[in-house]
Structure formats: structure tokens, C-alpha cells
Chain A
Amino acid sequence: MIQQSKIVIKDLNLYYHEKQVVKELNLEIPQNEIFAIIGPSNSGITTTLRTLNRLCDLTFGARQEGEVLLDGKSIFNKNVNVTELRRKVGMVFDVPTPLPMSIFDNVAFGSNLNGKKSKAEVEEGVEKALRMSALWDDVKDRLNTPAARLSGGQQQRLCIARVLALEPEVILLDRPCSALDPISTAKIEDSLIQLKEQFTIIIAPHTIQQAGRIADRVAFMLMGDLIEQGITHEVFSVPKDKRTNDYLTGRFG
């Protein structure tokens, strides 16, 4: 069965000033799957993710060549509404980034400002998002306490809920569990597997093992080059490239 590609990356080159951080990247990311991009730090993975919702625009000196298509349409086109793109392609960062407000407001914040919704609709949306990110039972009795009082794992699930509340199509996660304990990590992984039914998920896992646990496909990047990609268990059991093998077996990285 050929699945539809949600995002197509064609000949993408990314630069900071003169330094090239991603070279000739070509990837097709299928809909409703978890796609993991693995590789050591400094491989251009974060930059690639930040390009997909054009957060890169904010970085001084960042520049792109090539093409990224979302549902067949270029995201670099001049007519693209960047704020709308960022709502469609939500992002979760490597450290939990709760905003300085209550739990409820954190989740309602984006959707409140982005559309005219009634109070009931907003409340319903917040509950739905918190349930999807498996946080609802932890926080339902204290929605008005500051988000900063939650534990690290809860904060990260709050950040996922915040993205979900915008009803995005794609969710980018940049090493979302790097600061979390195994129990919180397991909870987030479980919810990601649930969420791929509705969303397309691209994750930069903080360990190879995490990619193995949850990803349908992986791509391995090294120093800005795409080395290998494919179905996760195929790449993991029979890597085609020696460098992939070396990375997976822990010879470097």
C-alpha cells in the first residue's frame, strides 16, 4: 500500500550565514506515521525541524535553498501565511517550555488568540487536548494553578497538549524526552503512538532506542548529510551503510 506523503523535502540545503548545516536533503514523510530523524548532535536535525514550520525565519542568518512541500504546496512560497503554517505544523521543544500562566491558559492560549470561539468550545478543546496528551487525570482538579508548578514530564505533556489544542496536521518533536525520567517518557511515547492515528508525527528522538520503540520509519543524518532512511526495523536490523551500522551499534555518537 502506498501511503500519501504529507511532507516532501526536495534538495533542501540549510545555512547559517556561510556555514552549511544540511546538505541536499531529500525525504518523504508519509501521513499518519511516526517518522524519526536520528543522528548525533550537530547533524542539522533541529535546524531541519525548525525549517518545517519556518521557525528558522527567526534565527538571524538562517537561509534555505530547495523545496519543502506540505500537501503538495511549497511552504517557502511568498503567499504562505506563516502563522497559519505554524498552526498546521506544531512544535514541541527539547526542554519543556510552559508559558508563565495557568495550566488552562497554556493550553487555551494559542486557540484563544487564533480564532473566535465560545468559552464552552475553548473549555472542551482544552479538555480534549489534555486527554490526548494523557495529562487530564493529573491536572483536572487544578487547571488554574501556574503551569510552572507541574513536574518536568507533566510540563512536556502540557506542551504537547498546547500544540494539540490548535488541531494541527503535523507535530514536530525535537528531543521531547531528553530532560525526562523513564516513566514520563513512556507516557509520552504511549500518547504519541495513539496520536499518529490523527496526526503526522516527526520526532528527533534523544536516543536510538526511542526511535526503535515508536517510529515507523527512520532517517539517519550525520553532519548535515542524509546517510540512510527506511522502515525502522529494516534499517535497525540490516543497515545498508557502514556509518549507520556504526552509529546504531554505538561505535560513535
Chain B
Amino acid sequence: MKKFKENFSERVFLLLALSALSVLALITVFIFTKGIPLIAKVGVVNFIFGMKWSPSQGSYGIFPMIVGTISVTLGAAIIGIPIAICCSIFLAEFAPATLRNIFRPAIQLLAGIPSVVYGFWGVLFIVPMIRNYLGGPGLSILAGSIILAIMILPTIISITEVTILALPRHYKDGALALGLTHWQTIRHLLLPAAKSGIVAAIILGLGRAVGETMAVIMVVGNAVALPETILDPVRTMTTNIGIEMGYASGEHQQALFATGIVLFIIIMIMNATAQYITRKK
């Protein structure tokens, strides 16, 4: 009887674990079967590098949206990464325990705020600020970058902090005993030693930025055109799907799935790179 119970519970766990995995497989297969025919029809090059997105006329080029995704993500990286790295160095190396105990949960809380709330705050606060002080429509690459920069902070900060804290204690003792200042120790020893973890943290954070939809829809303006400055509106790949899925059908719907394939591949590559870097050590 006991043996039966053991076997039975083992099977149940296996089954549930497999169902989680099979969802991933199903979604992947679904996206690809829906999207591939359209890409095959239009041609990979025309689809990715096409400048014109006009489903009613049958032109499906997502290049402006790829540029949109890249520019918004790049902006988030430029704003967010320095803040995140400095913050994690502060938490891991400088902050007294009491301050750390306030800081750490607060940063985790950032990850818990729903993205629509970020978007709402962006529309009401960031967008008017940009419009009033910098000009343009306000709905822009810059607005999207600022919102995304904040949204990727918790990912980058927590992984970087854990990486720094996981370094052998003797690195720090050894360096300080050599008469290095605290900052020299961080700059020349701890950061280089934690490099792979930090790079992985950044890639995972940016993966999140690439995939974010709701907050971005609300602040980037969603115009399908190549931007000229960071104050111009753009449309990203995710927002393209988010905006048009409600009414798309037939070929148009397939084109949105095809956009999903491109996103899927980009994010897979980023995550795989992050995994590879952390495992290499």
C-alpha cells in the first residue's frame, strides 16, 4: 500500500510538471503554425525589412516596429542599467543592514506593480513633462524608455546584488588587506569577478523590456514610422500585436503571429545568451 502511494504521488508530480512544459510547447507550435505561412508568402526579407505596414493593402513590413523595439529597449538600457548597477553595488557593499532591509523589499515591490499602472502614470506624468519641456507630442521613444527603465530595475538589481554577494568573502578581505580602498576593491576586483552575472542580469532585464506591452502601448504613440529623434512616437512589435489583435482576421492575423515569431526568437536568443554566460563562469 505504502509503495503504491509513493508511486502514485510520483506520477502525479511528473504529470503536473509535464503539463507546465507542454503549455510552452503548445504555444510555440501554435504561434509558428499560424505565423509561418504569412512569412513564407511575403518572404523573410520583405517581412523583416519591409518599410510599409498596411494590412488592408496587403503590405506587411515590420522594420519600423523592429526599430521601435530596439530604440525603446536601448533607451531603457541607457537610463536603467547605470541606475540598477549603482543601486546593487550600494545594496551589496555600502548599505547598512537597516537601510538594506528597507531598500530590498521596496525594489521587489517595483516588480509587483502592474504594468498598466506604470503606463497610466507615464501618460499622466512623464508624457506631459516631455511635451512641455522638450517638445514633440510627448508620446515618444523617450517616454517609453523611461517607463521601461524603471520596470527593468528590479530584475537587474536583484540578480546583480546576488552575484556580488555570492563572491567568495576572501576576495574582499584579500584586496582590502593589500591596502586597496573600498572603491578600488569594488572597481578592480568585485565587478570584474561578477561580470558574467551582471551581463546576464542586464540581458534578462532587457528581455523583459523587449516583451513589455501594456505600459509601452500607453506611452509610445504607436505610429508606424521610422523615428528621427527620441521625441518621435514609435510602435514596437509587442504593441503592434496588442493594438491590432482585436480586429485582425485572416492574413492580417497571421501577420501578427508572424510578428510574435520574431519577438519569440529575439527573446529566446537573449535568454539563451544569459544562460550561457552564467553557466560558463
Binding site for B on A (CB under 8 A): 53, 55, 58, 60, 83-87, 90-91, 93, 95, 97, 99-100, 109-110, 113-114, 159, 162-163, 166
0/1 interface trace, chain B 159-200, chain A, CB 8 Å (1 if under) = 000000000101111111111110010001100110000000
B174 and A166 within 8 A (CB):
no
**What number of B residues sit within 8 Å (CB to CB) of A?**
19
Known interface pairs A93-B170, A97-B171, A99-B171. Does A60 touch B97 (Cβ–Cβ under 8 Å)? yes
**In the complex, which residues of chain A have a beta carbon less than 8 angstroms from the beta carbon of B170?**
93, 95, 97
Known interface pairs A109-B188, A110-B180. Does A93 touch B174 (Cβ–Cβ under 8 Å)? yes
Residue of B nearest to A60 (CB): B97
B179 and A84 within 8 A (CB):
yes
A110 and B179 within 8 A (CB):
yes
B171 and A55 within 8 A (CB):
no
Give the Cβ gap from B191 to chain A, nearest Cβ, in Å.
12
Alpha-carbon separation in the docked complex, A252 to B193 (Å)? 43
Alpha-carbon separation in the docked complex, A84 to B180 (Å)? 9
**In the complex, which residues of chain B have a beta carbon less than 8 angstroms from the beta carbon of A55?**
173, 176-177
A163 and B176 within 8 A (CB):
no
Give the Cβ gap from B281 to chain A, nearest Cβ, in Å.
10
Alpha-carbon separation in the docked complex, A60 to B174 (Å)? 18
Can you give 14 A-B contacts (C-beta < 8 A)? A55-B177, A58-B173, A60-B97, A83-B180, A83-B181, A86-B176, A86-B177, A87-B178, A90-B179, A99-B171, A99-B174, A99-B189, A109-B175, A162-B174
**In the complex, which residues of chain B have a beta carbon less than 8 angstroms from the beta carbon of A60?**
97
Task: List 7 extra interface pairs beyond A93-B173, A93-B174, A95-B170, CB under 8 A.
Answer: A58-B176, A83-B179, A84-B179, A97-B171, A99-B174, A100-B189, A113-B184
Partner of B179, one of A86, A93, A95, A159: A86
Alpha-carbon separation in the docked complex, A174 to B176 (Å)? 16
**In the complex, which residues of chain B have a beta carbon less than 8 angstroms from the beta carbon of A159?**
174
Alpha-carbon separation in the docked complex, A60 to B98 (Å)? 12
Residue of A nearest to B175 (CB): A99
Alpha-carbon separation in the docked complex, A166 to B177 (Å)? 11
Residue of A nearest to B172 (CB): A58
Instruction: Report whether over half of chain A's contact residues are helix, strand or loop; otherwise say mixed.
Output: helix
Give the Cβ gap from B179 to chain A, nearest Cβ, in Å.
3
Known interface pairs A109-B188, A113-B188. Does A97 touch B178 (Cβ–Cβ under 8 Å)? no
**In the complex, which residues of chain B have a beta carbon less than 8 angstroms from the beta carbon of A90?**
177-179
Binding site for A on B (CB under 8 A): 97, 168, 170-181, 184, 188-189, 192-193
Give the Cβ gap from B182 to chain A, nearest Cβ, in Å.
9
**In the complex, which residues of chain B have a beta carbon less than 8 angstroms from the beta carbon of A163?**
177-178
Known interface pairs A60-B97, A100-B193. Does A87 touch B179 (Cβ–Cβ under 8 Å)? yes
Residue of B nearest to A94 (CB): B170
Residue of A nearest to B96 (CB): A60
**In the complex, which residues of chain A have a beta carbon less than 8 angstroms from the beta carbon of B179?**
83-87, 90, 110, 114, 166
Residue of B nearest to A162 (CB): B178
Give the Cβ gap from A102 to chain B, nearest Cβ, in Å.
12
Give the Cβ gap from B19 to chain A, nearest Cβ, in Å.
42
Q: Which 5 residue pairs spanning A and B have beta carbons closest together?
A: A87-B179, A110-B178, A97-B170, A97-B174, A91-B177
**In the complex, which residues of chain B have a beta carbon less than 8 angstroms from the beta carbon of A91?**
177
Give the Cβ gap from A164 to chain B, nearest Cβ, in Å.
11
Give the Cβ gap from B195 to chain A, nearest Cβ, in Å.
10
A97 and B189 within 8 A (CB):
no
Alpha-carbon separation in the docked complex, A97 to B184 (Å)? 18
**In the complex, which residues of chain A have a beta carbon less than 8 angstroms from the beta carbon of B174?**
93, 97, 99, 159, 162
Give the Cβ gap from B63 to chain A, nearest Cβ, in Å.
43
**In the complex, which residues of chain B have a beta carbon less than 8 angstroms from the beta carbon of A100?**
171, 189, 192-193
**In the complex, which residues of chain B have a beta carbon less than 8 angstroms from the beta carbon of A83?**
179-181
**In the complex, which residues of chain B have a beta carbon less than 8 angstroms from the beta carbon of A166?**
178-179
Alpha-carbon separation in the docked complex, A163 to B204 (Å)? 40
Alpha-carbon separation in the docked complex, A97 to B176 (Å)? 12
